[in-house]
Structure 1
Amino acid sequence: MTIRKKGSQHKAGTFSEKIKNQFQVLQQELNISFQNTALLYQAFTHSSYVNEHRRKLYTDNERLEFLGDAVLELSVSKYLFEKYPQMSEGELTKLRASIVCEPSLVVFANELQFGQFVLLGKGEELTGGRERPALLADVFESFVGALYLDQGLDNVVAFLERVVFPKIEVGAFSHVMDFKSQLQEMVQQTNNGPLHYEIVDEKGPAHNRTFISRVLLNDKELGMGRGKSKKEAEQQAAQSAMNAFKQLEQEEA
């Protein structure tokens, strides 16, 4: 017995060829092909557009936003849980919150140029709705919800692996992940002395530099890291050292 997903209230045929072509371009740019394009249209349909086209029976993206919010939080939670085994529940919660908050979602949406594809009412358009942070964050969540319904969680994760997770890995949220402070606390518990960070190498052109750092304790190297800034590289080195400490503790246990 085949269970079919309940379709969206959107009817793809009710949209103009211009709008259909725009969303075809979006799919090509994302390298994602929706099986049910009605879900994609709905993800980008603002309530103001629905209100101005009442006879068309369009559906806005608010319910997809609700679903996408949950899917995004689950996907990010699983990634962080597996990526940072040394983090406590409180640290994971704080980091996740910084990733799924409105300012971060706006950055993701802007990098994908989602704003230019949103279907808005004339009034919302004239008042700058296309660039409104809350609207852009909502559209990103709606898209995630639509992608989940259309293609499942694995494909949502694949999308996030291209758009969101790399930013975590290069330290875009290092202000939350203060590994240097955490490592300092670990070292102080054993009174082993002060930590020392040094940049051991710089690679790449000036506009795309990669720094390599190492952290030392009593002239003994504890860990190395790399990043797009010296601060980022030091944070990564501290994380590497923390992982080494955790590994040693497990072996001695």
Structure 2
Amino acid sequence: MTTSKIVVVFQTQSAIEADVVRGLLRTRGIEAITSIDAPQTIFPLGGLSGASLAVRSEEADRARELIEEFRPEVSLELTSIRDEFRSVEGAIAYRFSDPGLLEHALTHRSRAHEDASGGVRDNESLEFLGDAVLGLIIADRLFRECPEWNEGQKSKAKAMLVSTTALARIGEQVGLGEHLLLGRGEEKTGGRRKRSLIADTFEAVVAAVYLDGGIKAADQFIERWFRESLDAVRQGELAAGLQTDYKSALQESMQARELGLPRYRLVGEAGPPHRRVFTSEVVAGERKLGKGDGRSKKESEQQAAQQA
């Protein structure tokens, strides 16, 4: 595409509509470049401005003809997406202007890798953004609501509030696991029940809300789902709920039944360097008792002990 002039052939307010049309063009042998028209502010009040598709100039007329020809099919697919995710919107108490952002947030990389059209994007970039948005808003809450706390106290509270355990708990509460878009392999290995995956997806949903409705919508969304935990952490109650020592509890239980001591072993690592996910198993002799994921080896062992 570098030797030809690039021409914009399609513009939309919906990122998912751009993905659908891009997939359509690809099936007809036309490669398109997607540009997200983000607002020119760090904290937009109203989310994304839209998306554009561009193709080589010699393919522009054919691309426009195809887009016009298949416009009814594209409209039907968008309606189908809206209907499919309405129950998720009800569960998380947020209605998307662009439901494609929600689909993007729920799409695990295993699903994207299995799609041959190139029109499916995984949620890892949204996880990255959601982590930052969530961290900012939680930090702002702690700054305003706990002025008497020192930096160390605020940092510890923030770490608890945005931990994998805390995010997975909210994700499980709204039933995110039931709605994850997974590849066949991840489905077979129990991806819908992996707490690290549910936590990552919740971060992606935070980013989707931010991109859809802006910083105000994200702030309201986080207030809804974190108010109880924020109040608890101020009263010193959250740590007990989030930091249950499942390893000690399992060891005490096994010793009481004269079953010996549990052993932990690392059985897998996945994800990019800045988002590593560790998988550990807990065993008694050669019998596997439980398996868990976490963003550290210690956390994965705690999750394995909880499952045992």
TM-score (norm 2): 0.52
Q: Which residue of 2 aligns with 1:80?
A: 142
- For structure 1, list consecutive stretches of 5 or more residues without a partner in the other structure: 179-253
Q: What is the one-letter code of the residue matched to 2:213?
A: Q
Name the count of aligned residue pairs: 175
Asked if the contact 2:81/2:100 (under 8 Å) is kept, the reply is no
CA distance in 2, matches of 1:137, 1:28: 19
Q: What is the one-letter code of the residue matched to 1:65?
A: E
Alpha-carbon spacing, 1:114–1:57, altered in 2? closer, same or farther (3 Å):
same
Q: Pick from 107, 111, 114: which aligns with 1:49?
A: 111
CA distance in 2, matches of 1:173, 1:125: 40
Q: Which residue of 1 aligns with 2:229?
A: 167
With 10-19 and 78-87 compared, the bigger mean Cα shift is at: 10-19
Alpha-carbon spacing, 1:125–1:134, altered in 2? closer, same or farther (3 Å):
same
Summarize deviations over 1:136-170 as a string: whole Å, max 9, x none: 01100000011101101111111111111222213
Summarize deviations over 1:21-69 as a string: whole Å, max 9, x none: 3311211333322111111110000011111112252000000000000
SS at match of 1:107: helix
1:7 has 2:15 as partner: yes
Alpha-carbon spacing, 1:93–1:166, altered in 2? closer, same or farther (3 Å):
same
Give the deviation of 1:20 after TM superposition.
4.2
Q: Which residue of 1 aligns with 2:49?
A: none
Alpha-carbon spacing, 1:53–1:16, altered in 2? closer, same or farther (3 Å):
farther
Summarize deviations over 1:82-136 as a string: whole Å, max 9, x none: 1111000111011100111111110010111111111001110110001111110
Q: Which residue of 1 aligns with 2:290?
A: none
Give the deviation of 1:19 after TM superposition.
5.5
Q: How does 1:108-119 map to 2 (within 5 A)?
A: 108-119=170-181
1:107 has 2:115 as partner: no
Q: What is the one-letter code of the residue matched to 2:229?
A: K
With 107-116 and 24-33 compared, the bigger mean Cα shift is at: 24-33
CA distance in 1, matches of 2:174, 2:143: 26
CA distance in 2, matches of 1:20, 1:152: 20
Q: How does 1:14-33 map to 2 (within 5 A)?
A: 20-33=82-95
Asked if the contact 1:40/1:143 (under 8 Å) is kept, the reply is yes
Q: Which residue of 2 aligns with 1:152?
A: 214
SS at match of 1:55: coil
Q: Which residue of 2 aligns with 1:198?
A: none
Asked if the contact 1:46/1:120 (under 8 Å) is kept, the reply is yes
Aligned-pair Cα RMSD in Å: 2.7
- For structure 2, list consecutive stretches of 5 or more residues without a partner in the other structure: 1-11, 22-73, 241-308
Q: What is the one-letter code of the residue matched to 2:15?
A: G
1:67 has 2:129 as partner: yes
CA distance in 1, matches of 2:182, 2:87: 18
SS at match of 1:134: helix
